Amino acid sequence: MNNLDFSLDAARRLDRDDPLAEWRAAFHIPPGPDGSDCLYFTGNSLGLQPRRVREMLQEELDDWARLGVQGHTEARRPWMPYHENFTELNARLVGAKPHEVVQMNSLTVNLHLMMVSFYRPTAERPAILIEKPAFPSDRHAAASQIRFHGFDPERDLIEIGPREGEANIRPDDLMALIEEEGHRIALVLLPGVQYYSGQVFDMAGIARAAQAKGAKVGFDLAHAAGNIPLQLHDWGVDFAAWCSYKYLNGGPGAIAGCFVHERHAEDESLPRFAGWWGHDKSSRFRMGPEFHPIAGAEGWQLSNPPILSMTPVLASLQIFDEVGMEALREKSLKLSDTLLAWLDERLAEEVEVITPRNEQERGCQLSLRLKQGDGRQVFEALEDNGVICDWRYPDVIRIAPVPLYNRFEDLYHFVGRLDKAIKG
Ligand SMILES: *Cc1c(COP(=O)(O)O)cnc(C)c1O
């Protein structure tokens, strides 16, 4: 019997052979309607709570109670340099040098701060290239930046979408557009993984092509960080930003991450919106009027960070560091390969997977579309039956089996419940 046969035995065998299986116990799995663990497939939207978060938060509360303001220097994780706890963890997570990464703000805020520095439109070169349909916040951010500089999004926001009748952007179409329009593009702002389709973009190739045309390149890694291996430094991207509450399990609204390539680390001629936390650490508390940015990504910080919101992210990034993206990616592909095989075996007539099948072009998420019938009703039937997945208008159910806490057995039950939801 082949490992990919659709059976509970095969699923359990895969779980038994899974070197990461024990990590599931490090997370709180929400109960389904019958009280047993739900089938949780929305780690791409809000990752589950690592058990160690509670204890680490309690430590911060205790230090605050015990030390008051002295916690800035005397807490067991002193608050003043708290963001430095993230430096090495983030550097390894996204393939960066330590001074290229910082934990700060939230994702859309960071996109704006990065655009202040790296979107420098001129009359000849005013445009931003994004994908279509982009996540609304990214589109709003880009369009409002264009307007802020006195240009017109109708003309200067260039959007590339899939061809008529297709679900994914063809990489060749993207390259051709950069080649043709590159001379008037100031900034290429694309996702690492597209939130709707799950398509992974060739970030290295895009960065090379766009920079050869004189454009800056930034990536929104909301759906990529903690999902696929990244090498931001080597790929040469100018900046990147990501939230920490999706694959990274940092908790609702968690503090985000940001990358600035080292070629910009000491460029004080870049415009930036500054704050005291980005100022040189040795003179910060002399409270002088001059601004001298810390070299590197830390120099873009504004405020002293909210420790109680940083702690869950720290707890979670420690787990990513202990496991490593390589092992996570290996299991992630095994999970999605298995789900694809079982969907093909059981539901090929009913369900279309719109996510690219090529392993280089997908992460954890598979986006499913019903070939006929009412997808929304099927989604609701799944929900009633203990499956947490999500529905994205107009017609997609997104499923993200994640390697830290999903089991192969979850996939087996999912395919069975989907079958039942469709066929009744
Ligand atoms: C989740 C997500 C966001 C959310 O932005 P916040 O500022 O964290 O609210 C933005 N863009 C993309 C592509 C996302 O996937």
CA distance 182 to 186: 8
Atom of ligand 1 nearest to the CA of 220: 13
Strands 387-388 and 351-353, sheet pairing = unpaired
CA 1–ligand 1 middle distance (angstroms): 43
Is 206's pLDDT higher than 80?
A: yes
Cα of 392 vs centre of ligand 1, distance in Å, is 15
Q: 117 in helix, strand or coil? A: helix
Query: Does the domain formed by 8-51+324-423 have CATH 3.90.1150.10?
Result: yes
Q: How far is the CA of 105 from the centre of ligand 1 (A)?
A: 12
Give CA separation, 37 vs 29, 51, 69, 406, 415, in Å.
Answer: 6, 15, 42, 11, 16
Q: Which residues are annotated as a binding site?
A: 107-108, 135-138, 220, 223, 245, 276, 304
Sorting pLDDT into bands at 50, 70 and 90, what band is 424? confident
How far does residue 180's CA lie from ligand 1's centre (Å)? Answer: 29
Spatial distance between the Cα atoms of 273 and 300, rounded to a whole number of angstroms: 8
Strand-by-strand arrangement of the 185-191 sheet: 101-103, 257-260, 239-242, 216-220, 185-191, 127-131, 157-160
Q: Give the model confidence (pLDDT) of 289-329 as tens digits.
A: 899 999 999 999 999 999 999 999 999 999 999 999 999 99
Output the pTM of the full model: 0.97
For the chain, where do the domains classified as CATH 3.40.640.10 start and end? 81-322
Structure tokens at 138: 């990214």
Instruction: Write the pLDDT tens digit of every residue in 47-84.
Output: 999 999 999 999 999 999 999 999 999 999 999 999 99
Candidate from 243, 255, 392, 398 with most ligand 1 atoms within 8 A of CB, to mutate = 243
Residue nearest to atom 14 of ligand 1 (CA): 222
Q: Does pLDDT of 408 surpass 50? A: yes
* Predicted confidence (pLDDT) per residue in 76-122, tens digit: 999 999 999 999 999 999 999 999 999 999 999 999 999 999 999 99
Helical residues (DSSP H) of 262-350, grouped into ranges: 307-323, 325-347
What is the tens place of the pLDDT at every residue in 377-402?
A: 999 999 999 999 999 888 899 999 99
Which is the closest atom of ligand 1 to the Cα of 223? 15
pLDDT in tens, 22-52: 999 999 999 999 999 999 999 999 999 999 9
Q: Is the Cα dihedral 342, 346, 352, 358 positive or negative? A: positive
13 by Cβ neighbours in 10 Å (0-12 / 13-18 / 19+) ranks as: middle
CA 243 – ligand 1 centroid, Å: 7
Ligand 1 interacting residues, C-beta cut-off 6 A? 106-108, 135, 137-138, 191, 195, 220, 222-223, 243
pLDDT above 60 (res 1): no
Mean pLDDT, range 410-418, rounded to an integer: 98
| Single-letter code of the amino acid located at 281 | K
Residues 232/226, Cβ–Cβ less than 8 Å: no
Listed in order, the ranges of the chain carrying CATH 3.90.1150.10 are 8-51+324-423
Are 229 and 324 contacting, i.e. CB atoms less than 8 angstroms apart? no
Q: Give the pLDDT band (50/70/90) at residue 288.
A: confident
Taking the CA of residue 245 as reference, the ligand 1 atom at the shortest distance is 8
Q: In whole angstroms, what is the distance from residue 153 CA to residue 295 CA?
A: 33
In this structure, the strands spanning 257-260 and 185-191 are: unpaired
Other C-beta atoms closer than 10 Å to the C-beta of 410 total 23
User: Which of 42, 108, 244 for mutating ligand 1's site (highest number of atoms within 8 Å of CB)?
Assistant: 108
Q: What is the dihedral of CA 290, 294, 295, 300, to 10 degrees?
A: -100
Mean pLDDT in the chain?
A: 96
Binding-site residues for pyridoxal 5'-phosphate, in ranges, read: 107-108, 135-138, 220, 223, 245, 276, 304
The string of DSSP codes covering 393-414 is TTTEEEEB--TTT--HHHHHHH
Nearest-angstrom CA–CA distance, 232 and 239: 8
Q: Nearest Cα to 344, choosing from 5, 24, 59?
A: 5
Q: Which helix (H) or strand (E) holds 185?
A: strand 185-191
Q: How far is the CA of 108 from the centre of ligand 1 (A)?
A: 6
Q: Name the class of domain 81-322.
A: alpha beta
Residue 18's alpha-carbon distances to 201, 281, 366, 409, 410, in angstroms, are: 28, 45, 21, 12, 14
Q: Which atom of ligand 1 is nearest to the CA of 195?
A: 15
For residue 2, is pLDDT > 70? Answer: no
> Which spans in 182-255 are helix H?
203-212, 232-235
The whole-number pLDDT of residue 139 equals 98
Cis peptide before 394 (omega within 30 of 0): yes
d(CA 16, CA 22): 10
Helix (H, G, I), strand (E, B) or coil at 115: helix
> Sign of the C-alpha dihedral, residues 89, 92, 98, 104?
negative
Question: What separation in Å is there between the alpha carbon of 160 and the centre of ligand 1?
Answer: 19
